[in-house]
Amino acid sequence: MKTDRILSIIRIAALVLICLTCLVPFYVLLVLALNSPSRIFYEGNIFVPDFFFSNFIEAWHESRIGQAMVNSAIITSGTLALAIVLGGLAGYAIARRKTRFNKFVFGLLLSCMMIPGIINTVPLYTLMRHLHAVNTLYGMILVCSTLALPSAVFIYSTFISSLPMELDEAAVLDGCTGCSVFWRIIFPVMKPATASFVILNGFGIWNNYSQSVFFLQSRSKQNIPQALSVFFQQFGGADWNMMAATATIAIIPVVAVFLVFQKQFINGLASGAVKG
């Protein structure tokens, strides 16, 4: 009994230490963002900032991070919506109709997941130029959807394969067509798989830089990683307080979304793992 208690205390202490270690970079970032421009970080009490909130106001206007947030939100939501709909339909067809053609397409999509997205940038850029979609938000949505679609098909087909065929048969007996079976019966049940897909791909789409630097060239179309990169290059390490304030503003939406939907995220991952 005493040994179990000691082990429990050690585990708790280890978890607390890990959490504190993860929080240290964020605390340093926040202290830098709240320090006055004239203060050197290691002067005075390094754990207590100056609470110089003007850094955030100036960083908001100088970096244009607000427009970048709107662009990132449009790209992320549009990509996830398109990938969920197309991936769900394709996953349903592959899971329920195991023909040779469907198996070939599924294998082809799995092989695409093994290829880094940056390798496809040149042919994608050529294609997007012909579609007049370079430097447009909808063009970036199409690019990100193309890269996320294999993952969506894999997650949905695996999840739907674990569902009993009796669901489809009962819906057909009630008068549903193949399309209505998916939208009325299967799609509502796919919430755990959808949550898993959103978690695994949403943050990557939000923070996409490798493709956006090619396809979003004007300042008004840049997403958050591009806006931060341009802003950091502008200051060139001369004003750490402004750069820290801009980075703090940039991570607020992601942290807020996670805090609001953390229960749904965790339940989605757990349910998806059980179903898979």
Query: Can you give the pLDDT at residue 275?
Result: 47
Contacts of residue 103, Cβ cutoff 8 Å, sequence gap at least 6: 94
Q: Which residue has the higher pLDDT, 155 or 121?
A: 155
Q: Domain with 161 in it: what CATH number?
A: 1.10.3720.10
The last residue of a domain, from among 28, 52, 76: 52
pLDDT digits 0-9 by tens, 212-228 = 888 888 888 889 988 88
Q: Tell me, yes or no, whether 17 and 133 share the same domain.
A: no
Q: Tell me, yes or no, whether 108 and 178 share the same domain.
A: yes
The full DSSP string for 37-85 is TT--TTSS-TTS----THHHHHHHHHHTHHHHHHHHHHHHHHHHHHHHH
Q: Tell me, yes or no, whether 18 and 64 share the same domain.
A: no
What the block records as the tokens of 116 is 């880094």
The last residue of a domain, from among 10, 36, 52: 52
* Domains: count for the chain: 2
pTM exceeds 0.85, yes or no = no
DSSP, res 114: T
Q: Which 3 state secondary structure label does DSSP give 239?
A: coil
**pLDDT class of 273 with cuts at 50, 70, 90:** very low
Q: Tell me, yes or no, whether 6 and 111 share the same domain.
A: no
Largest CA distance in the chain: 76
Q: Tell me, yes or no, whether 103 and 19 share the same domain.
A: no
Q: How much is the average pLDDT of 241-267?
A: 79
Residue 132 has pLDDT above 80, yes or no: yes
Environment class of residue 72 by beta-carbon count within 10 Å: exposed (0-12), middle (13-18) or buried (19+)? buried
Residue 174 has pLDDT above 80, yes or no: no
Q: Tell me, yes or no, whether 94 and 147 share the same domain.
A: yes
Query: CB of 31 within 8 A of CB of 46?
Result: yes
| Structural domain of 200 | 60-275
φ/ψ of residue 48, rounded to 5: -120, 115
- Give the number of other CB atoms < 10 A from CB of residue 243: 23
Q: Tell me, yes or no, whether 90 and 22 share the same domain.
A: no
Q: Tell me, yes or no, whether 29 and 65 share the same domain.
A: no
CA-wise closest residue to 253 among 202, 214, 215, 219: 202
Compute the C-alpha angle 198/202/204, nearest 5°: 140
Query: Can you give the pLDDT at residue 35?
Result: 83
Q: Tell me, yes or no, whether 79 and 48 share the same domain.
A: no
Alpha-carbon distance of 187 to 89, in angstroms, equals 9
- The most confident of 50-54, 106-110, 240-244, by mean pLDDT: 106-110
Three-state SS annotation for 128-176: HHHCCCCCCHHHHHHHHHHHHHHHHHHHHHHHHHCCCCHHHHHHHHCCC
Q: Tell me, yes or no, whether 163 and 201 share the same domain.
A: yes
Q: Tell me, yes or no, whether 257 and 169 share the same domain.
A: yes
User: What Cα–Cα distance (Å) separates residue 275 from each residue in 5, 55, 69, 161, 202?
Assistant: 35, 48, 35, 9, 21
Q: Tell me, yes or no, whether 218 and 239 share the same domain.
A: yes
